[in-house]
Chain A
Amino acid sequence: MGDTPHRSADAGTGGTRVTEGHPWPAGASAHVAESPVSTGTPGGPGLGGGGALPTARRFGAERAFRGLTFAAGSFVLVVIAAIAVFLIAKAVPALRANTVNFWTYEGWSPNDPEPKFGIGALAFGTVLSSALALLMAVPVALGIALYLSHYAPRRLGTSLGFLIDLLAAVPSVVFGLWGRDYFSGPVGNLSIWLNEYFGWIPLFGGDGPYGASILLGALVLAIMVLPIITSLSREVFLQTPTANEEAALALGATRWEMIRTAVLPYGRPGIIAAVMLGLGRALGETIALAMTLGITFNISFNLIENGGNTIAANIANTFGEANETGRGALIASGLVLFAITLIVNITARAIIYRRREFTESAA
C-alpha cells in the first residue's frame, strides 16, 4: 500500500466524498474503488489509517456538541443570576420601608402603613422543624434502607422499595390535609402525655393547647422526607463492592459488623448527600407546614404547644393579601431561605470534602 494517495486534501472538507473521484492506484485496493458505496473509508488504509494523516475537522459534530453543552451549562448561571437580580430588586424597597429590625423583630405586618416585619421567628421555625424532622426521619430511613439492601429477601426488598418510592409521589398538600385533619389528634394526645410526664423539660412545657405544633409539622415533614432519604441510601448501600463485604465477613464479622465495617463507611458521602436532599425538601416545604403549624411569630423551643411557623409556610399563608411592600417582604424572606439552604449545602460539601482522600480512592 506504498503509494496510497494523500487524503488530507479532501478530508478537510468533511471527508464525506471519499468514495468518489479518487485516483485509486491499481493493485490491491482497486476492487474496493469499484464498489463506491461500501464503507466510510474505502481503499487500502482501512479504519486504522495507513496513508498520510488527514487533518482534523474544523467544524463537526464534536465541536457542535461541545458548544451545545457549554451553552446549556452557562444557561443555568444566567437563570440563577436573573432570579437573584429580580429578587434583590424586589426585596430592597420593602426592607427600606421596614420600620423595625428585619433580623430580630418577631412579627409580620408588612402591609401596615408602617410596615413591621422580622425574619427571626420564621427562620428559627424553619430550621427547628426541619432539624427535628431529620432527627426523626434519618435513623428510620437508614434502617429501612439497610433492611431493604442487606436483610430483606431480594423480591421483598424490591417491592418494598417500590412502595417507599410511591410514598414520595404523594403530593404535599395531601400530607398537609392528613396531618391537619387526622394526625393532629394522636399527636395532641402524645403532646398531653409528654407534657404531663416530661413537662419539666422546656421542650415539652407550656399550658396548651396542644396539637398544631412544631412536633406535628416536624412529624409530617419526617414522613415526607423519609422516602427520598430511604431510596437514595438504599441505592448507595447496594453499590458497596461485594469484595469489601466479603472481606469483612471473611474476617469473622457478623452481618451487622460487616455493615458497620464495609457498608456504612463506603456509603457515608452518599448518606450525607441523601440527608441533604431531604433537608432541602424539608426547608422548602410549604403547604404541608402551612396547614399543620399553629402559625405564631415567636421564637420558642416549645415543641408541643400550638404554634410555629416557617418562611415557606408564611409566604403561602400571607401572599394572598400582601400589597407591594408585603410582597417585597416575602421575597426578602425567600432570599433568607435561599441563604439558609446554601449554607446547609456548603456545610455538607465541606464534610464530604474533608474525607476526599478516602472517598476518591474508593471509586
Chain B
Amino acid sequence: MAKRIDATNVTAYYGAFKAIENINITVEPKTVTALIGPSGCGKSTFLRSINRMHEVLPAARVEGSLTIDGQDIYDRDVDVTAVRRMIGMVFQRPNPFPTMSIYENVVAGLRLNGVRKKSLLDEAAEKALRSANLWDEVKDRLGKPGAGLSGGQQQRLCIARTIAVEPQVVLMDEPCSALDPISTLAIEDLMFQLKDKFTIIIVTHNMQQAARVSDRTAFFSIEKTGDPGRLIEYDNTQRIFSNPSQKKTEDYITGRFG
C-alpha cells in the first residue's frame, strides 16, 4: 500500500521561470518526509510535480525523472489521472466541494473511479472517516454540507477524501497552516497513524511540526529572488535538527535567516 519515490534531476518551470533545479530525492515507503525552506524556494512546486499537479497551471512543465516503484510517472504512455489516484494530495486550505455533503465529499473520488454500489461507498466512507479521526464527529450528520464543518474538521474531511481512494502516497501542502493549534495537533496525530499505510510527504513552514512528524527532512533554499530553488540537504530529521552538515540548514533551522 505504500511505494517508494525516486526523483532524479527534477527541474520545474513556470513558463520561462525556473522554479526548482535538479532535485534529487529518494523517499522510502511508509515514512513521513518533510520539505522545509523559506517561502518561494520551490517546496510546493516540487510537491506538486510528484503527482503531476504542477502541469495543471498554464505553461508549467517538469523535466527530469520521477519514478514510483521504478515506474516513470512522466512517461508518455502513463495516464495522468492514474498517477493522481495513486498519489493523493491535501492542499494548504481545506477545499471540500462546497455543493456536496460530508458523505458525498468523502466518496467523490470513488465515484470518479466508477464505484456505484451504495454498500461499497458506505463502507469506504466510514473507513476513510475513521482513518481521518473524523467519524465520531460527523457520523450523525453525513448529509450536511461539508463546508459547514470547522476548518480543522474540513481539513480532516479532505484527508478522508484523499485516502478514501486508497492511494500509495499522500502529499500534504502545508496542511495545517490555516488551522488552530488543536486542529493542527489532531492532524499531526493522524499523520502518525497514516504512516502505517501510506508514504507521506509534507510541506511545512513550521519547523517544530517537521521535527515532530517526519522521519526524514529535506531543506530547500534559493540564493536570491528569481533563482531556482535547490535541495540543500536531505537527511534523517533528527540529524537535520541536531547536527546539520550544511551551514545554510543550520542558519535556517536556528532562525538566522528565512
Complex CA distance for A64 and B81, rounded to whole angstroms: 58
List, sorted by A's number, 30 A–B pairs whose CB atoms are closer than 8 Å.
Answer: A241-B98, A243-B95, A244-B95, A244-B98, A247-B91, A247-B97, A247-B158, A248-B108, A248-B112, A249-B84, A250-B53, A250-B84, A250-B89, A251-B108, A252-B84, A252-B112, A252-B165, A253-B112, A261-B97, A261-B108, A268-B99, A355-B99, A357-B144, A357-B145, A357-B148, A358-B99, A358-B100, A358-B147, A361-B98, A362-B98
Distance to closest chain B CB from A268 (angstroms): 7
Question: Which B residues are CB-close (under 8 A) to A361?
Answer: 98, 145, 147-148
Q: Is B56 an interface residue (CB 8 A)?
A: yes
- Residues of B within 8 Å of A, CB-based: how many? 32
Query: Is A251 a contact partner of B95 (Cβ separation < 8 A)?
Result: no
A154 interface residue (CB < 8 Å to B): yes
Beta-carbon contacts under 8 Å, B74-117 to A: 81-85, 88-89, 91, 93, 95-101, 108-109, 112-113
Closest to B81 in A: A252
Provide the residues of chain B in CB contact with A262, threshold 8 Å.
97
- Interface residue? B217 (CB, 8 A): no
With CB as the reference atom, state the residue of chain B lying closest to A268: B99
Residues of B within 8 A of A (CB): 51, 53, 56, 58, 81-85, 88-89, 91, 93, 95-101, 108-109, 112-113, 144-145, 147-148, 158, 161-162, 165
Chain A interfacial residues counted at CB < 8 A = 25
- Asked if A284 lies at the interface with its beta carbon under 8 angstroms from chain B, I say no
Contact B95 A358 (CB under 8 A): no
Interface of A is mostly: helix
Q: Is the CB of A252 within 8 A of B109?
A: yes
A4: Cβ under 8 A from any B Cβ: no
Beta-carbon contacts of A237-248 to B below 8 Å, as 1s and 0s?
Answer: 000010110111
Do residues A241 and B95 form an inter-chain contact, with CB atoms below 8 A? Answer: yes
Contact, CB under 8 Å: A251 / B145: no
Residues on A with C-beta less than 8 A from B91 are 243, 246-247, 250
Is A254 engaged at the interface, CB distance under 8 Å to the other chain? Answer: yes
Q: Is the CB of A265 within 8 A of B99?
A: yes
CB pair A358–B112 under 8 Å, yes or no, is: no
Closest B residue to A260 by CB, please name it.
B112
Closest CB in chain A relative to B258 CB, distance in Å = 26
Q: Which of B83, B93, B147 has the most CB of A within 10 A?
A: B147
Chain A contacts for B145, CB-based, 8 A: 357-358, 361
Minimum CB–CB distance for B141 against chain A, Å = 11
Specify which chain A residues have a CB less than 8 angstroms from the CB of B81 in the assembled complex.
252-254
Taking a contact as CB atoms under 8 Å apart, the answer to whether A265 and B84 are in contact is: no
> In the docked arrangement, what's the CA distance between A252 and B88, Å?
8
